[in-house]
Chain A
Amino acid sequence: MLALSITNGLVIGIIYALTALGVSLVVGIMNVVNFAHGEFYILAGYFSYLFAHTMGLNPLVAMVLAVGAVFVFGVVVEYTLIRPTYGDDLYSLILTFILSIVLQSAYLLIFGPYPNKPPNWVKGASDVFGLFMYGNQRLAALFAGLAVIGIFFAMLKLTWFGRMIRAASQDREMAELNGINTRRLNMLSFGLGCALAAAAGVILAPVFPVTPTAGVPVALTAFVVVVLGGMGSMPGCVVGGLVLGLVENLGAAYISTGYKHVFMFLILILVLLVRPSGLFGRAET
């Protein structure tokens, strides 16, 4: 039981971390909390299902295309909806909250209420260290998640774009003074944030099929991870995600399955009370 819970916790934790990175990116650069984050995750799952199932493309190709499609969608949303809200937190919160509900209803109408499951890349289950059986698709999700996170951090550290992101999230005005086109950066960052959510979505959709309302808990978890890890800290997201995943699964196994999701919120409240800047975050001005 312990080994299974830890493994489950790690798998889910990596996916939480991936989703949270998307939120953290957008918050760090634009100071916008995107309530519809979960819906981008779900959209990617739907696209992945569409491309693979209905259009018959290779599952991996479908996944990449799905992420790309959501990236574009994210950019469009930024341009039409988010842009006018700069500086006004209240406004963007309300707008993205409404957007979240609109997308959920749209999904219900377009894709129907049944869960849509993109095909597995791998089937069956494996014997993990001789301790328990574990679904292969979940193991694949773990490795895929780690890979994407790795690529993301590499991009942050090594590329021009990554440097711009780091600069803008540290001090926006200075970045502007140094010649960075923050408008375009915002657009691309928002798109990238959505793309990260999309990546998490396509990775996990074969395990947990997507339904119109499944995005809400995804977004909530991402927010909690960001607060836990520290607003604006990327490594914080990874640590926060893993911690959350482990706590949830161990809690479910040993304390109560029914209250699994409450642990996440208790952590949130604890963090806000004790150390609002999170594990690795910078203190608020």
Chain B
Amino acid sequence: MMHYKWPLLAAGLLLFALLPWGLGAYHQHILIVSLFYVMMAASWNLLAGYTGQVSFGHAAFAGIGAYASGILAAKAGINPWLGVAAGTLLAALFGLLVGMICLKLGGIYLSLTTLAFSEILHIVINNEYEITRGTMGLQVPGLLNTYSKPGYFYIFLAATLLTLGIVYRLIHSNAGLNFRAVLNDERAAAALGVDVVRVRVLAFTVSSALAGMAGALYGHYLLLITPHIPSLDQQFLVLSMTVIGGLGSFAGPIIGAFSLEILSEYIRAYGEYHVLAFGLVALIVARFAPKGLVGIFRAVWEKRRQAALRPLQPAGRRAGEV
């Protein structure tokens, strides 16, 4: 399997990149939204899956990116591309600040602080409606002068690849080893000289920056920025996608984001049921298959491999097999 990994991936990517030409506007929209969620899920996974910090403020950082970029573009006439850069930087800055406040304590305190941050942002956006237009929504210019769905698709594809690339490099670097050390056993890692807090702050800042970028791009795609972007509902979606896809795995967020977004469009015909349906699936997966779809797939693959390697042994459960 290892030999074919990279060429297979490249071929798949090429096919994927050609999709817009075979699909209608509606389906292209679904793909673009899915890519947005891939970016969000992958960056959240960096924090939760690889560093063990459950942040409930991820959507808030996306919101910071979106609103910063949107307000600059709509009120100050700044070029949306520059706006996206500004949004990303601002999100990174806030990530650093929030990280420094709560990462020392970690665990539940981090979750609560990020939740608090998310809610404060929500309230500020709603109240300062003269600038943000609150629940009425802020209309912003797009990234392209002439609206073109395939155009946006490629922008999002590029950004997604960038995000995934950064996450990949980070996980497979020295810093990434530190992440996993901290995740597995904090005390042991500290004893070995890993600066636990610095590791967490790094992950948090990068993760927030990526969310900010995703949010800014999304805002300029929708041409409308509303407090829905930095909302707990969005946070829930990102969380479920990662959990169902596979927390702590690289492919998990990707699979989760696509599956859930496509599924959600399909279920949308049934109206109000789709959030409940998702939630139930997420609950069942979280409870019975914590490693998500990727985990299930891996377990199946492992089992078949083991079975193939031991044709003469009687079939049976041994310690260590799933």
Contact B101 A216 (CB under 8 A): no
Within 8 Å CB of A167, what residues of B? none
Within 8 Å CB of A227, what residues of B? 109, 112
Known contacts A109-B273, A268-B116: does B127 contact A259 (CB below 8 Å)? yes
Q: Tell me the smallest distance from the CB of B286 to a CB of chain A, in Å.
A: 5
Q: Tell me the smallest distance from the CB of A51 to a CB of chain B, in Å.
A: 24
Contact B116 A265 (CB under 8 A): yes
Contact B287 A81 (CB under 8 A): yes
Contact A261 B111 (CB under 8 A): no
Known contacts A97-B239, A220-B119: does B108 contact A33 (CB below 8 Å)? yes
Option from B54, B108, B109 in Cβ contact (under 8 Å) with A94: B54
Indicate the member of A84, A259, A265 with the most B CB atoms within 10 Å.
Answer: A265
Q: Is B102 an interface residue (CB 8 A)?
A: yes
Within 8 Å CB of B290, what residues of A? 91
9-residue interface stretch from B74-82, B142-150, B258-266, B277-285:
B277-285
Q: Tell me the smallest distance from the CB of A23 to a CB of chain B, in Å.
A: 11
Q: Tell me the smallest distance from the CB of A2 to a CB of chain B, in Å.
A: 24
Contact B123 A272 (CB under 8 A): no
Option from A80, A98, A220, A258 in Cβ contact (under 8 Å) with B243: A98
Q: Is B240 an interface residue (CB 8 A)?
A: yes
Option from A223, A261, A266, A284 in Cβ contact (under 8 Å) with B112: A223
Residue of A nearest to B236 (CB): A101
Residue of B nearest to A84 (CB): B287
Contact B102 A98 (CB under 8 A): no
Q: Is B120 an interface residue (CB 8 A)?
A: yes
Option from A258, A262, A272 in Cβ contact (under 8 Å) with B109: A272
A residues 76-130 near B (Cβ < 8 Å) are 80-81, 84, 89-91, 93-95, 97-99, 101-102, 105-106, 108-109
Option from A90, A95, A269 in Cβ contact (under 8 Å) with B116: A269
Q: Is A177 an interface residue (CB 8 A)?
A: no
Contact B236 A265 (CB under 8 A): no
Contact A265 B119 (CB under 8 A): yes
Q: Is B115 an interface residue (CB 8 A)?
A: yes
Q: Tell me the smallest distance from the CB of B39 to a CB of chain A, in Å.
A: 20
Contact A261 B280 (CB under 8 A): no
CA distance A223 to B273 in the complex (A): 30
Q: Tell me the smallest distance from the CB of A227 to a CB of chain B, in Å.
A: 7
Within 8 Å CB of A223, what residues of B? 112, 115
Q: Which A residues contact B (CB, under 8 angstroms)?
A: 33, 80-81, 84, 89-91, 93-95, 97-99, 101-102, 105-106, 108-109, 216, 220, 223-224, 227, 256, 258-259, 261-262, 265-266, 268-269, 272-273, 276, 284
Q: Which B residues contact A (CB, under 8 angstroms)?
A: 48, 52, 54, 56, 101-102, 105, 107-109, 111-113, 115-117, 119-120, 123-124, 126-127, 232, 236, 239-240, 243, 247, 272-273, 275-276, 279-280, 282-283, 286-287, 290
Beyond contacts A94-B243, A258-B127: 11 other A-B pairs, Cβ-Cβ < 8 A, are A33-B112, A81-B283, A81-B287, A84-B287, A97-B236, A98-B236, A102-B279, A223-B115, A261-B123, A268-B112, A272-B101
| Between-chain CB contacts (< 8 Å), 30 pairs | A33-B108, A33-B111, A33-B112, A81-B287, A89-B108, A90-B48, A91-B286, A93-B54, A93-B111, A94-B239, A94-B243, A98-B240, A98-B286, A99-B283, A101-B275, A102-B279, A102-B283, A105-B272, A108-B276, A109-B276, A227-B109, A256-B127, A258-B123, A262-B120, A265-B120, A268-B112, A268-B113, A269-B116, A273-B101, A284-B105
